[in-house]
Amino acid sequence: MNSSKLFFSPSEYFILNKDLIKKIGIEPTIILCSLINTEELKKNNDYFLTTIAYIGSETTLSNFRIKNGINKLYKAKFIDVIVKDEGRLSVKILHDNILNTFAIKKSNNIFKKTTTQKPKLKHNRFKKPTIKELNNYFIELGINTDESDIMFDYYQSKGWKVGKAPMKCWKSAARNWARRLSKTTEFPDYYDKKIEKQICDDPTALSRYHNHLKKNGWESIYSPSSGTTWRKIKTT
């Protein structure tokens, strides 16, 4: 099969090349498709016989439009045609001329379409901070380093995720932690379930409160009936 045949369907429908339509018009392009189909069916790469009537049955074009289209294809040097008698034509498809017109390279009857690949954007992978890095950054923010330990333990237990999404920047998370910290009030030195309920949606405040309780001799306990709660550690 000649390479230009790959632009057109050899079966029940036509595939029209847009560049060809722009150059010679849609009707000559349809006629060329029909001629290539006929050439393929006859398995003949040289001259083959066809008729105006047959082209009309394939394309539904009038005799006048078919003759006009064949004339355009001949002038464009896409076909060579010999008129045998009224309505009978001997046609040869000039595939190389078609290919050369559109600067299409053929290799082993296969078109190799080159695509320009967009460079892949490099995404910086998240690297969790060390406790020392977090401590130093909290010092830069002017915050007690005890809070950096609380933040580290909190996000370590969450797999360094913000909600359900992986953390992208731990410094941004630290700044948000500091902002929430500035809005919190001082906590009492005892466990208050009401306070815990009020701050349950704020992980920063909740972690601070629990850490505050631990420093004041409280420990968390769990029971099937009441869930997690806190109790004062008895000293002997």
Q: For the stretch 92-108, what's the b/e string if a residue is b when 16 or more beta carbons lie within 10 angstroms of its beta carbon?
A: bbbbeebbebeeeeeee
Is 189 found in the same domain as 179?
no
Tell me the CATH number at 76.
Answer: 1.10.10.10
Tokens of 205: 């405040």
- pLDDT of the residue at 111: 46
Is 97 found in the same domain as 175?
no
> d(Cα 81, Cα 89) in Å, to the nearest integer?
7
Which domain-ending residue is among 157, 183, 209? 183
- pLDDT tens digits, one per residue of 66-77: 989 999 999 988
Q: Give me the domain span that covers residue 88.
A: 3-101
The mean predicted confidence, pLDDT, of the chain is: 80
Is 151 found in the same domain as 204?
no
Lowest mean pLDDT among 11-15, 43-47, 61-65, 72-76: 11-15
Which domain-ending residue is among 101, 136, 169? 101
- DSSP letter for each residue of 105-168: --BTTB------PPPPPPPPPP-PPPHHHHHHHHHHTT--HHHHHHHHHHHHHTTSEETTEEPS
Is 92 found in the same domain as 7?
yes
> With contact defined as beta carbons under 8 Å apart, do 78 and 98 qualify?
yes
Question: Does 159 fall in a domain?
Answer: yes
